[in-house]
């Protein structure tokens, strides 16, 4: 039997309320105003670090479990609460803490009710009490939003959707990319990590990144293993490489560490500043250019061009679950249109016989396979080049020669972000 909640006497303390209030503000910014959780969290910088961390954790749990939380709430109300009503938001917050953070029931009630003071306090109290008394079964992995499940099932099949549900429920491992292969192997051995590819180490720990061994030394940077794959498509002998849409620079650092001469272009000055700081920390170098890739003219062609285009980022749904709510069909279509323009532009800077790599951290075929298929239909001097010799063995090219990383791959090792990449080779003149 589930424990009964002492609903008649919620704790009088306001301890923990500030964190919940901040979580509420973050969710409002994300769900109503389309912000990312990272940027919404900037608004709570005045909080004590522990409270801010708790607020982000609670908001993250809500975003991971929203469809299930809403189904629970709807099962306990006679009239459906509007999606953006405060009562629904506060109930989501409380239930997510119960399921995802194991918060005791008396603390849930005590921290939920002050959030609706002067508002629907009785309603929230009643619904929460009903649900807690009924008992919350969270044994099944969370469902993704219905439209996303339909879209991904049509594109990738039911098994991939089931794997995505399992992935969103679990905390992703931390992947580090290293400047040197030897350093990665030694780090994995010394710090209990696993190396799943050259220059890669996966750590299964939740330490803050700056407190990890070697952070100050700059021998590594944080980069999901899937995000490290596109740079591995650049041929080792390409001396002069253009990295378009480069910031914050995970791929630029890989390229610089592999010995390529890198020109890194990005539109956003603030993000280029982060790239510059990342290069400083790692002791790597690249020529940085703040420019719009759609209009910038480099004045020469390159041995290889990497275009890691802006996208819906739905492949990062494990760590940034809000992407599932932002990636509406219109957003995906607009994004695909921009990607097509950027890819056509990038192709102009590839020398005859050179390589063009296109990538997106998206699970939408419209932004991956479709963009490249449309490009190839209009650019007969480019052909698909396949996975190439630097790819880890667990990655196989698809029938069309593309790389497509889906939920379920390496699941027992902790999985990867969803990703798409294609290596295109320009015919020699
Ligand atoms: C997916 S992120 C790139 C991540 C980066 N390649 C890395 O490995 O860290 C996309 C980047 O494209 C940049 N961007 C968007 N539109 C652009 C444009 N028209 N020209 C240049 N950069 C652009 C954004 O500022 C953003 O930094």
- What's the token pair of residue 136? 């919350």
Distance CA 143, CA 167 (A): 11
What's CA 250's distance to the chain center, in Å? 14
- CATH topology assigned to domain 226-426: Rossmann fold (3.40.50)
What's CA 110's distance to the chain center, in Å? 33
What is this model's ipTM?
Answer: 0.99
Kindly report, residue by residue over 24-75, the tens digit of the pLDDT: 999 999 999 999 999 999 888 788 989 999 999 999 999 999 999 999 999 9
Judged by DSSP in three states, 304 sits in strand
Distance CA 74, CA 288 (A): 52
pLDDT of residue 7: 41
Q: What is the pTM of this model?
A: 0.93
Distance 266 CA to ligand 1 centre (A): 6
pLDDT of residue 205: 67
Pocket test for ligand 1, best of 231, 234, 267 (most atoms within 8 A of CB): 267
User: Rounded to the nearest 5 degrees, what angle is found at the Cα of 206, between the Cα atoms of 248 and 203?
Assistant: 75
pLDDT of residue 208: 75
Cis status, amide bond into 248, omega within 30 of 0: yes
Give backbone dihedrals phi and psi of 306, rounded to 5 degrees, phi first.
-110, 125
**Structural domain boundaries in the chain:** 17-134, 226-426
pLDDT of residue 119: 87
CATH class of the domain defined by 17-134: mainly alpha
Pocket test for ligand 1, best of 244, 266, 419 (most atoms within 8 A of CB): 266
pLDDT of residue 2: 35
Under-70 pLDDT residues of the chain: 1-14, 205-207
pLDDT of residue 44: 81
The residues that bridge with 287 in the sheet, in sequence order, are 263
10 Å Cβ neighbour count for 122?
Answer: 11
pLDDT of residue 206: 64
User: Active site includes 5?
Assistant: no
pLDDT of residue 3: 36
What's CA 70's distance to the chain center, in Å? 23
Kindly report the three-state secondary structure assignment for every residue of 17-67.
HHHHHHHHHHHHHHHCCCCCHHHHHHHHCCCCHHHHHHHHHHHHHHHHHHH
pLDDT of residue 13: 43
> Which atom of ligand 1 lies closest to the CA of 268?
25
């Amino acid at each position: 039997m589930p424990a009964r909640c002492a609903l008649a006497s919620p704790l009088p303390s306001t301890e923990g309320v500030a964190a919940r209030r901040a979580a509420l503000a973050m969710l409002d910014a994300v769900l109503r105003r389309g912000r990312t959780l990272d940027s919404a969290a900037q608004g709570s910088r005045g909080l004590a670090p522990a409270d801010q961390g708790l607020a982000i954790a609670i908001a993250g749990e809500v975003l991971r479990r929203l469809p299930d939380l809403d189904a629970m709430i709807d099962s306990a109300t006679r009239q459906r609460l509007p999606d953006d009503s405060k009562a629904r938001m506060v109930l989501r917050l409380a239930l997510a803490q119960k399921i995802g953070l194991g918060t005791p029931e008396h603390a849930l009630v005590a921290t939920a009710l002050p959030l609706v003071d002067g508002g629907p306090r009785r309603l929230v109290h009643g619904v929460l009490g009903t649900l807690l008394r009924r008992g919350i079964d969270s044994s099944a992995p969370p469902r993704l939003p219905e439209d996303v499940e339909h879209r991904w099932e049509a594109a990738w099949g039911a098994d991939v959707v089931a794997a995505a549900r399992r992935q969103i429920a679990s905390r992703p491992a931390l992947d580090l990319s290293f400047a040197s292969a030897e350093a990665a192997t030694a780090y994995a051995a010394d710090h209990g990590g696993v190396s799943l590819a050259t220059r890669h180490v996966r750590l299964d720990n939740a330490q803050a990144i700056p407190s990890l061994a070697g952070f100050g030394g700059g021998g590594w940077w944080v980069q999901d293993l899937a995000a490290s794959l596109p740079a591995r498509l650049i041929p080792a002998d390409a001396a002069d490489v253009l990295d378009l849409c480069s910031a914050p620079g995970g791929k630029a650092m890989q390229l610089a560490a592999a010995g390529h001469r890198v020109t890194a272009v990005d539109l956003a000055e603030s993000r280029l500043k982060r790239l510059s700081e990342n290069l400083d920390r790692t002791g790597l170098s690249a020529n940085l250019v703040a420019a719009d890739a759609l209009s910038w003219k480099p004045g020469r062609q390159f041995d290889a061009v990497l275009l890691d285009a802006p996208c819906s980022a739905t492949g990062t749904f494990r760590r940034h679950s809000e992407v599932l709510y932002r990636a509406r069909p219109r957003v995906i279509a607009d994004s695909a249109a921009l990607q097509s323009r950027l890819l056509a532009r990038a192709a102009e800077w590839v020398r005859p016989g050179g390589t063009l790599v296109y990538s997106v951290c998206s699970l939408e075929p419209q932004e991956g396979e479709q963009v490249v298929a449309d490009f190839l239909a209009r650019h007969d001097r480019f052909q698909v080049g396949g996975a190439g010799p630097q790819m880890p063995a667990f990655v196989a090219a698809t029938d069309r020669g593309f790389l497509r990383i889906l939920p379920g791959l390496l699941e027992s090792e902790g999985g990867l972000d969803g990703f798409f990449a294609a290596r295109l080779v320009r015919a020699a003149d």
